[in-house]
Amino acid sequence: MLQSTRGIVLHSFKYGDTSIICNIYTETHGKVPFLIQGARKHKAKLKANLFQPFFLLDLEIYYKEKRQLQKIKEARNDVPFETILYDNSKRSIAIFLAEVLNKTIQSEDADKQLFEFIYNHIKILDIKEKGLANFHLSFLVQLAKFLGFYPQNNFNAENKFFDLKNGFFTKIKPFHKHHLNEKESEIFHEIMKYSADQHENLHISPSVRQKLLDKTIDFYYLHHSGNIHFKSYQILKEVFN
């Protein structure tokens, strides 16, 4: 059945001599794998370079329930990028966050709020001029809401330590290694309060930001049901160091 939907490209890889398989987070069906036949041919109707991480697409799809790989009839840029393709920092963020989404979103059920969250953040990333170094950290914290393990923001003068394993702030430093110190916990609390267009106002030193990002990745490892590893994370760290 032919359907129209918006989509967010998460990951693609070569399939056979000329085709690709692409995971796209769609507005109507959630995360869906598509087979794009002949995408790597010189005269392809649907070219492989249209399916890069975080590309925002308008799609005409042939969708059939329980089919392993769906098909695309038409695809075009919904919001052509102005900077992400040409800014190394932004492109590194896009590749990293697309990998995070590809590995943490499992359901093929539509989630309108999650779709809009991702879609709007990508548009913000493309036009953002300052505060870029905080973007991916803020995104990961807010994404946890949709993945079912958002931290409890009970930080106060007594609850000074964030326990990564249990997902809330505690009075006493946890005995295990999965926790934030007092300074990191305070900043983490601030990040939870800021929206996508406000986190640029957070002043975080590069060293503390890196520790927070490492610990947030640890938080994902602890709470995600699958065994996940983000290959592009090392590249992102190198870009911002």
| Residue after which a domain boundary falls, among 42, 77, 112 | 77
**Is there a domain that residue 197 lies in?**
yes
pTM above 0.85, yes or no: yes
**Is there a domain that residue 39 lies in?**
yes
| Residue after which a domain boundary falls, among 19, 52, 77 | 77
96 in the same domain as 71: no
| Residue after which a domain boundary falls, among 28, 53, 77 | 77
CATH number at residue 42: 2.40.50.140
Amino acid at position 134, single letter: N
**Is there a domain that residue 83 lies in?**
no
212 in the same domain as 93: yes
194 in the same domain as 141: yes
Residue 197 has what pLDDT?
66
Average pLDDT over residues 11-38: 96
Q: Please give the tally of structural domains in the chain.
A: 2
Report helix, strand or coil for 178. Answer: coil
pLDDT tens string 135-170: 999 999 999 999 999 999 999 999 999 999 999 999
189 in the same domain as 123: yes
Q: What is the DSSP string of 69-137?
A: SEEEEEEEESS--SSTTT-HHHHHHHHHHHHHHHHH----S--HHHHHHHHHHHHHHHH--S-GGGHHH
Show the domain range for 16.
2-77
- Mean pLDDT lowest among 10-24, 54-68, 222-236: 222-236
- With bands split at pLDDT 50, 70 and 90, how would you rate the model's confidence at 107? confident
